[in-house]
Homo-oligomer: A and B are copies of this chain.
Amino acid sequence: MKTISVRKNVLAENDLIATRLRERFSKNNIFVVNIISSPGSGKTTLLERTISSLNDELDIQIIVGDVQTENDADRLRKAGGKAVQIQTNGACHLDARMIQKILEGMKFDGPGLLIIENVGNLVCPASYDLGEDVKVVILSIPEGDEKPLKYPAVFHRAGLMIIAKTDMLELSNFNPQAAYRNVAQINPSIKCIQLSAKTGEGMPSWFEWLKDNVAKKISS
């Protein structure tokens, strides 16, 4: 019982900080995406391609969370992106306080796009509001089409599901229609995009989705 009440306090404190972050992002016309997925679903490759395609059109800043290593932020900087790394040192998710702290050292006044690449984990990051406008969940083809049923919290809270690595579709028994049926049971209003960062298939839909949302944020 003690553990549960401490956990509730932690989440309440997190939500308070997240609310303040959200107000700040809105004031500065920054559209914020919190990307959540399993390890190895291709988040960083997707972001490399996103940077090279949209860097001229949008002001993009990326915050990358990992348990250990700076590898991902390094990769994104090499791709031309503005990226900072949070190493959680064992923690299985980012929280709002980590975002608040790293923002202190960043110059990002908007308008633009802030992408937060969460720790690779389909469970824990779902509970932590980071002040984002929308959670994006990535489900990669090799993981299997039943995952929305097995990890419902993150699929329930996401506004967009990206089915990634469609180049691997032929080698797998992943059925996109089954994935859509499964996610609709959990979250009937979720939007879905299928793409492959490797072949480029479907990437324009993702770019349009980002650009539309940044434009809406600025005009709101």
Contact = CB atoms under 8 A, between A and B. Distances in A.
A69 B149 contact: yes
Interface of A: 2-3, 6, 10, 38-40, 66-69, 71, 90, 92, 119-124, 140, 142-144, 146-147, 149-153, 165, 167-168, 171
Number of copies of this chain that the complex holds: 2
B143 A39 contact: yes
Given A69-B146, A71-B146, A168-B171, 14 more contacts: A3-B10, A38-B38, A38-B39, A39-B150, A39-B151, A68-B152, A69-B149, A71-B150, A120-B122, A140-B142, A142-B165, A142-B168, A168-B168, A171-B171
Given A3-B10, A38-B120, A122-B121, A69 B150 contact: yes
A152 B90 CA distance: 9
Nearest to A143: B40
